[in-house]
């Protein structure tokens, strides 16, 4: 007999991550994956991280192994303040909270600001884990259309204009977005800040990819621009992470926000995990102090740029005019659609049979329905696997075409 547990409504029939649902196929050693947004393990600076970890444990064992401050180790918070200054954003320590990955920071915002039925606006398509968190909170999630230049701020302005929509949050990944790879234009960045300030809506900038600019000139973050827009600063929350530039297993992220928001996020973190592991925090602070991150990022940029170019070339050779995509200027993702494929989810079983993975586009929208687009990550697959992976995708499309 199955137990009748009294689950809350959001978890009675839960939906898992559309990306992580594919991971069961990765145990097949012959599978080539363009699915996960994992950084390449070939780039991890294990020696540098190991040396920093050993040094801080040797020099500061009690701090490494004891509980730490919920707000984050002061030495790491100061290091992150300096890192943000290098990115053109002036931040003070009381505006910054260390989190266990940037996803935890978003979770704290949802806890603090979103109730069942609260309207939240997200660019569409958007990061699937954000949608998952909002669904669990019972939010009324509404999409704002986007294009190759990011969120359509005119559409957003129209949604906000008459006051009929009073969102608790506006969410965007403005730089090398997940899943599209799009980058919000400079003009739209300023307009987005102005709209948030005028309508007094918390604007969430999720920025895990901004450092991975393939031409070395990432656009300024919303955080770096917000002081140019009167009254925008209190309404902006900036989420960042070292997962894509150092290592995701460290789980080091941070939130920059007004002190009133930070204070409530600290309380939520006390309930969640008390503190991000102090040993990891001190090791990351030491790694940053050692000055190793800039060279690490440069290696990643060169590596991912080459793989982006390989993937784009292979797609064009395989599909010609049939495929549509915009070449991303950074990050890890390419967003594509194929003429004659109305539902990328229908292509997936054929791709799995050919031993190649991608993520159908439906999982990146608030309203799930058939979508032609799909996400390809060029970060994880080895360079020599990319052409073969695209050849397998081409065979999968041929299977779908033959099935009618």
Cα–Cα separations (whole angstroms), residue 219 to 39, 176, 224, 243, 356:
21, 10, 10, 20, 33
The confidence score (pLDDT) of residue 204 equals 98
Q: pTM, whole model, 2 decimals?
A: 0.95
The confidence score (pLDDT) of residue 37 equals 86
The ranges assigned to domains in the chain are 9-45+295-403, 52-289
Q: Which CATH architecture best describes the domain 52-289?
A: 3-Layer(aba) Sandwich (3.40)
The confidence score (pLDDT) of residue 20 equals 63
Residues of the chain where predicted confidence (pLDDT) is lower than 70: 1, 16-20
Alpha helices by DSSP H, 275-385: 278-289, 293-319, 344-353
9-45+295-403 placed in CATH 3.90.1150.10: yes
The confidence score (pLDDT) of residue 16 equals 66
The confidence score (pLDDT) of residue 388 equals 98
The confidence score (pLDDT) of residue 217 equals 84
On the CB side of 404, CA atoms within 13 Å amount to 0
CB count in 10 Å sphere of residue 392: 23
The confidence score (pLDDT) of residue 218 equals 83
The confidence score (pLDDT) of residue 14 equals 72
The confidence score (pLDDT) of residue 286 equals 98
The confidence score (pLDDT) of residue 163 equals 79
The confidence score (pLDDT) of residue 36 equals 84
The confidence score (pLDDT) of residue 17 equals 64
At 98, list the tokens: 């260390």
The confidence score (pLDDT) of residue 43 equals 96
Contact 286, 50 (CB under 8 A): no
The confidence score (pLDDT) of residue 1 equals 63
The confidence score (pLDDT) of residue 10 equals 79
């Amino acid at each position: 007999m199955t137990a009748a547990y009294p689950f809350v409504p959001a978890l009675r029939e839960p939906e898992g991550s559309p990306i992580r649902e594919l991971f069961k196929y990765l145990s097949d050693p012959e599978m080539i994956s363009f699915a996960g947004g994992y950084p390449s393990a070939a780039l991890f600076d294990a020696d540098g991280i190991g040396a920093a970890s050993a040094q801080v444990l040797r020099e500061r064992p009690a701090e490494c192994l004891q509980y730490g401050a919920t707000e984050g180790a002061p030495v790491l918070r100061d290091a992150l303040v300096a890192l943000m200054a290098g990115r053109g954003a002036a931040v003070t320590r009381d505006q910054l909270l260390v989190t266990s990955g940037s996803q935890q920071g978003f979770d704290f915002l949802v806890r603090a600001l979103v109730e069942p039925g609260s309207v939240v606006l997200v660019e569409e398509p958007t990061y699937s884990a954000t949608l998952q968190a909002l669904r669990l909170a019972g939010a009324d999630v509404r999409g704002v259309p986007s294009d190759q230049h990011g969120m359509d701020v005119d559409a957003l302005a129209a949604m906000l204009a008459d006051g009929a929509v009073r969102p608790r949050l506006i969410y965007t990944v403005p730089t090398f977005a997940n899943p599209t790879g799009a980058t919000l234009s400079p003009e739209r960045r300023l307009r987005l800040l102005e709209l948030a300030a005028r309508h007094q809506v918390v604007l969430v900038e999720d920025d895990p990819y901004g450092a991975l600019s393939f031409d070395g000139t990432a656009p300024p973050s919303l955080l770096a621009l917000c002081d140019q827009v009167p009254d925008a600063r209190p309404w902006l929350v900036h989420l960042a992470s070292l997962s894509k530039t150092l290592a995701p297993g460290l789980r080091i992220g941070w939130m920059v926000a007004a002190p009133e928001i930070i204070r409530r996020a600290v309380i939520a973190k006390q309930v969640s995990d008390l503190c991000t592991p102090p040993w990891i925090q001190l090791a990351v602070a030491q790694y940053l102090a050692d000055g190793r991150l800039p060279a690490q990022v440069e290696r990643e940029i060169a590596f991912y740029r080459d793989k982006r170019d390989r993937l784009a070339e292979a797609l064009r050779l395989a599909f010609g005019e049939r495929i549509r995509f915009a070449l991303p200027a950074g990050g890890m993702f390419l967003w594509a659609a194929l003429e004659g494929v109305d539902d990328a989810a229908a292509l997936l079983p054929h791709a799995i049979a050919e031993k190649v993975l991608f993520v159908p586009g439906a999982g990146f929208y608030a309203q799930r329905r058939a979508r032609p687009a799909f996400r390809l990550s060029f970060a994880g697959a080895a360079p020599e696997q990319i052409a073969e992976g695209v050849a397998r995708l081409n065979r999968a499309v041929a299977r779908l075409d033959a099935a009618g």
